[in-house]
Amino acid sequence: MIDWLLEPFQHPFNQRAVLAALLIGFTNGYASAFVVLRKSALKVGSLSHALLPGIAVAIAVVGLHDWSAFLGSLFAALLIGLGSLAVSRGSRLDQDSALAILYTAAFSGGIILLRRIGVTQEMEDWLFGNIMGLRDGDLWTNFWISITALGTLTALHRPLLMTLFDAEVAATLGVPVRALNYLLMAVLIVVLISSLQAVGCMLAIGLLVTPAATVYLLTDSTNALFWGGAVLGGIASALAVLIGWWINIEQGPAIVLVLGLLFLAAFLFSPKYGLIAKSRHSRAAQ
């Protein structure tokens, strides 16, 4: 039994996968608090789907290299995000509707282009992740992205919260609200891209929303929302990689599934906001 539990740690690729999951999950968990407080999960989710066409175009133009997928997905997410804003300002459509149209059209084009250039096997990895395929260089890339993202978000923690809770008051106090909004979106996009190899663009939104959403059901503390989401995201993601090895399932879906089960547990059993607790309070009030 002990040998079975320790077996994943005997393989270098498994060790890298667990470390990457811990790092990526921690960063996504911290960033997820901003998504939950901002109530922008669907918008960020749309941007996660916009990563695929950028990858396809980058591969078609410069070939499949270490940085082509990263730069292509970054360009696509920024283009779709800013494009939806331009459409909403120049027409009667709201930004969410414009975003839905642009990202679905771009996503469809990305699938067609990837099949045309003959990278169907890699396409599945980009859609659903392949954390077992991480190399040492990929791990270091994720490390520096996480350090940069966490450093930026913690350094600007107070003005970002002011912007999220009351943008008008923040503006009167001299906080550059619009610039911070753009910066926050850019950091969230980079964090999304950093999780691409772990969970893929189809499942990235689950990793970027679920940790803080789970903690949100357990506490009213804003600090706990950030650091609790980070710890939950890191530990759950690393554990999911091990579970995936032990029961022979794909690690990317396993990460999002484990987080989803933890959210379900909080939704049902949270002492204050859980469904069972609310039912008890409702019966007691009657």
pLDDT of the residue at 239: 93
Q: What is the pLDDT of residues 108-153, one digit of tens each?
A: 887 787 777 766 656 667 777 788 878 887 788 888 989 999 999 9
Residues 6+ apart with CB under 8 A from 280: none
Please give the torsion angle defined by the CA atoms of residues 8, 261, 29 and 122, in that order, rounded to the nearest 10 degrees.
60
Residues 6+ apart with CB under 8 A from 214: 229, 232, 259, 262, 263, 266
Sites in the chain below the pLDDT cut of 50: none
pLDDT of the residue at 129: 75
12-265 architecture in CATH?
Orthogonal Bundle (1.10)
List the structure tokens of 179. Answer: 């610039």
Distance from C-alpha of 64 to C-alpha of 60, rounded to nearest angstrom: 8
pLDDT of the residue at 153: 93
Please give the torsion angle defined by the CA atoms of residues 123, 126, 132 and 137, in that order, rounded to the nearest 10 degrees.
110
Distance from C-alpha of 196 to C-alpha of 252, rounded to nearest angstrom: 10
What's the start-to-end Cα distance of the chain, in Å? 51
What b/e sequence results for 173-196 when a residue is b if at least 16 CB atoms lie within 10 Å of its CB, and e otherwise? eebebeebeebbbbbbbbbbbbbb
Q: Quick one: residue 249, left, alpha or beta (phi over 0 = left, psi -120 to 50 = alpha)? A: beta
**Residue 243: phi, psi to the nearest 5?**
-60, -40
List the structure tokens of 21. Answer: 């999951």
DSSP state letter for 176 = -
The pTM of this model reads 0.85
pLDDT of the residue at 26: 96
Q: What is the pLDDT of residues 53-70, one digit of tens each?
A: 777 777 777 666 666 677
H or E, element range at 101: helix 95-116
pLDDT of the residue at 42: 67
Distance from C-alpha of 182 to C-alpha of 18, rounded to nearest angstrom: 32
| Of 268, 265, 260, 213, the residue nearest 237 (C-alpha) | 260
